[in-house]
Amino acid sequence: MAKCAFLGLGVMGYPMAGHLANAGHAVTIWNRTRSTADKWHEEYEGLTADSIANAVREADFVAICVGDDADVYEVVGEALSVIRSGTIIIDHTTASAECARKCYTDAKARDIGFVDAPISGGEIGAKNGQLTIMCGGDQADYDAALPIMGAYAKATTLMGDSGAGQMTKMINQICIAGLLQGLAEGVHFAQKAGLKMEKVLEAIGKGAAQSWQMDNRAVTMDEGMFEFGFAVDWMRKDLGIALRTADQIGAKLTMTRLVDGYYEEIQAMGGNRWDTSSLVARLT
């Protein structure tokens, strides 16, 4: 078993760190809000640290799950000032590929590994230890980190060099955005047509239209329930990263720009913390 530090106990990080502790690893956690860290400590076997430096000082692996590029730069910068040579950083934050590559370069200069490893699966996936992880970095660092990520993931893939994991996560969010908009319009159409959503799903739910979102969100969208984890604010952050990157590489994301604008409408309706299936709310 390894000595692990886990930095960031948000909706995703809290259960992920818990799975590490339950797997038998020696876990030290740090979180900006101390009350959250204290709550985690009461629930799981593990230590709390009052600073990033104290959390990572003896760690073999440092897992990070924070908000955005600025948070990653801050946390990685502080960690690198004290971290031991040979330690591997696993960054689960959804951030830009530029951020991943800069952190990778800074880490390698100190003989420290860095794997960008954004996650998909939402709060439910984190709680159930069933996340999907797309990674970028060196093969050796990825291989070493696999047993750590295996505590909370059902699937991990090394996509390529540093930044490739973040680029793949952008594709993930692009696809989800388009799928959810299509599903929202389908639910809206069914409502206007006077059809029962359960019956619609019986008819189309095993055919070409089937998806995870349809299986898990169509009925709740029909019922106006939007309390299932991944928030609109977070989706807009992710789509913003994808859109900026698209401009840099010359990719055309016409649909993604439209859906990002629709999420902006949801925010204006007060739905910042509604989950991403709330796209249907702007149609009703």
pLDDT of residue 229: 77
Is 169 a residue of the active site? yes
Q: Give 91's strand partners.
A: 64, 116
Residue range(s) in the chain whose domain bears CATH number 1.10.1040.10: 167-283
pLDDT of residue 45: 83
The highest-level CATH class for domain 167-283 is mainly alpha
Yes or no: say if 142 and 109 are a contact pair by the CB < 8 Å rule. Answer: no
Name the active-site residue from 169, 192, 199, 252. 169
Q: Give 89's strand partners.
A: 62, 114
Find, among 206, 224, 212, 204, the residue nearest to 279 by Cα. 224
Yes or no: say if 28 and 48 are a contact pair by the CB < 8 Å rule. Answer: yes
Averaged pLDDT in 10-residue chunks for the chain of 284 residues = 96 97 97 95 93 97 97 97 97 98 98 98 93 98 98 98 98 97 98 97 96 95 93 97 97 98 98 97 94
Residue range(s) in the chain whose domain bears CATH number 3.40.50.720: 3-161
pLDDT of residue 284: 86
End-to-end CA distance of the chain: 52
Q: Which fold has domain 3-161?
A: Rossmann fold (3.40.50)
Rg (the chain; Cα; Å): 20
Is-above-0.85 flag for pTM? yes
